Amino acid sequence: MGEFDLIARYFKRPVRRAALGVGDDCALLAPRAGHQLAISSDMLVAGRHFFPEVDPRALGHKSLAVNLSDLAACGARPLAFTLALALPEVKQRWLAAFADGLFALADAHHCELIGGDTTAGPLNICITIFGEVPVVDGRSQALLRSGAKAGDDLYVSGTLGDARLALGALLGQASLPAEVLAKARQRLERPTPRVALGLALRGVASAAIDVSDGLLGDLGHILECSTVGATVEVDIAASLIAASAYSESVGGQFLINLPEPQRRRLVLCGGDDYELLFTAPATARAAVQAAAQASQTPVTRIGQIDAAPGLRLIDRQRQALPNSYASFDHFA
């Protein structure tokens, strides 16, 4: 099967929202009047972002999910994406499953494939995604990293650390009960982009980012862009690892022993969580809860923004903890 057959068979679908989709030199796309496009690009490499032998359906899901997560962090509504794919060989079953997983998530978010490229090469998936953000009275409604103010509350959505827990188990660094691994692995391989929450937080959150490289590392970007500091209540954050909750919820059947230092490390610098980390004025607490409810996404207040630069970690007794946590870096 050649390149053009491959595109036609697995990736060409009727155009819906774009003016022109797959099959010409360019796709044509326009945001609606009064809107701008939010654009993000993520590249996933075999052996670094995923195991080469991962279920291709899950890989299709995750490839798009990490991009949708960037739109969520901007409060953008998904519109369309391009897919560039380097494949070591054309395996039809693999491609069909990859396309299935990709399009299932794309359809759930009404996000349309409008173009791309395929080539032979070491497995590499590069998606560029487009979302819409309203511009009101000349001001973009996008959520940025740069809007956090001293006194703002600091929140995170959902659960944290389970993806890294699963990765550790799959790498043989730790052993987990099979049922816990299965649940945690879902978080690693099929993350849930918080698109609805991002939309609900427009006009409520003062700054936002998605947690891809680890909570503290990504918080660092907000602090740097906003020129502020923060205090994080480590044990509130550490309670957000779902693996413990699975255990408790079934009366200890899945019980796992995660020592406190390990739990803190998984949550604070695990990465691959694809939750939203955001700030909002203390006066907006009811609005944040309303956004969480409207989007059916749990959010937890884990600290606050300070005028003093730097990051402070405190435990449940509000005692200072040393910050010995490094974030994930692709080249470290």
Q: Which is nearer to a copy of itself, 42 or 152 (CB)?
A: 42
Q: Which is nearer to a copy of itself, 124 or 186 (CB)?
A: 124
At its nearest, how many Å lie between a copy of itself and the CB of residue 31? 6
| Residue 35 C-alpha from the chain's centroid | 23
At its nearest, how many Å lie between a copy of itself and the CB of residue 281? 20
Q: Which is nearer to a copy of itself, 2 or 259 (CB)?
A: 2
Q: Which is nearer to a copy of itself, 105 or 209 (CB)?
A: 209
Distance CA 300, CA 280 (A): 12
Q: Which is nearer to a copy of itself, 96 or 236 (CB)?
A: 96
Half-sphere exposure of 187 (CA within 13 A, CB side): 26
Q: Which of 186, 231, 202, 158 is nearest to 61 (CA)?
A: 186
Strands 139-140 and 153-157: what pairing? unpaired
- 74 burial type by CB count under 10 A (0-12 exposed, 13-18 middle, 19+ buried): buried
At its nearest, how many Å lie between a copy of itself and the CB of residue 307? 22
At its nearest, how many Å lie between a copy of itself and the CB of residue 130? 8
Distance CA 7, CA 169 (A): 36
Q: Which is nearer to a copy of itself, 70 or 189 (CB)?
A: 70
At its nearest, how many Å lie between a copy of itself and the CB of residue 38? 4
The conformation of residue 237, written as its DSSP 8-state character, comes to: H
Q: How far is CA 86 from CA 43, 46, 117, in A?
A: 11, 10, 8
- Coil, helix or strand for 265? helix
At its nearest, how many Å lie between a copy of itself and the CB of residue 247? 33
Q: Which of 68, 77, 81 is nearest to 29 (CA)?
A: 81
At its nearest, how many Å lie between a copy of itself and the CB of residue 1? 7
Strand partners, 277: 156, 209
The conformation of residue 270, written as its DSSP 8-state character, comes to: -
For 39-69, give one letter per residue: b (16+ CB within 10 A) or e: ebebebebeebbeeebbbbbbbbbbbbbbbb
What one-letter code names the amino acid at 201?
A: L
At its nearest, how many Å lie between a copy of itself and the CB of residue 121? 3
39's tokens: 């654009």
Q: Which is nearer to a copy of itself, 64 or 242 (CB)?
A: 64
Distance CA 98, CA 10 (A): 9
Q: Which is nearer to a copy of itself, 66 or 258 (CB)?
A: 66
